[in-house]
A and B are shown apart, each in its own frame.
Chain A
């Protein structure tokens, strides 16, 4: 908790009026690996996301061990062999919306979020397309993007190269509430 709060402090989430800070503890991240032999997917619905509507700063934090798979063996391999969740328990995106939308006007705003994605001990600069939805004062966000597993130091053994894709699709979604 204190690490997360420290991170939030660093990006100034608690520096201004609380009315412009939004958060959720039930954002979702789904990933999908489409390989010739099979498609593997998992979902995490306990993702924490915070948004500062004044600055456009946002952060997404996910516990790696909260991803749910359909098959026990895949969940085990994901945690033990690929993401090594005991050593790297969290994946964190920290970034800023490039052109912050008007949060006081209902609408659907296509935006770009620039920031860093910290996963499996590797930190990379990323630029992610996203959509911010404002409806009756409720702010939501969604995004689809892809990551190369090699960028995050995740090695796919040759024996399963037809089962696990080198590129993984990520789908994220959040509905915020005022802090």
Chain B
């Protein structure tokens, strides 16, 4: 009987520990995720110019690797916000990087390779949870 109570107690404790772990778990680091797509920023944006709805559905919540030129970079609060170069100021690609990403070495007109999650399209494509990758 004692053995059964002991096993049940261990199972309950393990369940509680797992629940606490899941509750406090931070969002997964994009650096550890595999990219669903990898392409040049221009090619990515061109898909939205051709058919915004189709591109939006294709990339929604997908991990995308992009390579492009920085148009502007700014640290806002604890994260860096980067706009990739685009001809039209009402379009473009905006990326918010993860708080653990240090982009202090980057400035406008630098090339950058990044991985991020596509979150939708407003005045351009928006990506979040970005990380720098080495190409």
Residues of A within 8 A of B (CB): 1-2, 4-5, 23, 25-26, 28, 43, 45-46, 48, 61, 63-66, 68-73, 75, 89-90, 179
A46-B52 in contact (CB<8A): no
A71 touches B123 (CB 8 A): no
How distant is A83 from chain B, measured CB to nearest CB, in Å?
A: 13
Evaluate whether A45 and B76 lie within 8 angstroms (CB atoms) in the complex, with A26-B94, A73-B22 already known: yes
Closest-CB distance, B61 to chain A (whole angstroms) = 7
Q: Which of A4, A23, A68: most chain B Cβ within 10 A?
A: A68
Q: A1-B48, A26-B94, A63-B120 are in contact. List 18 more A-B contacts (CB 8 A).
A: A1-B121, A1-B123, A4-B123, A25-B83, A43-B77, A45-B76, A46-B119, A46-B128, A66-B96, A66-B120, A66-B126, A68-B79, A68-B128, A71-B24, A71-B25, A72-B27, A75-B27, A89-B120
Chain B: interface residue total (CB-CB under 8 A): 32
Given contacts A23-B123, A46-B96, A90-B120, contact A66 B26 (CB under 8 A): no
- Taking a contact as CB atoms under 8 Å apart, the answer to whether A46 and B126 are in contact is yes
The distance in angstroms between the C-alpha atoms of A134 and B60, with both chains bound, is 37
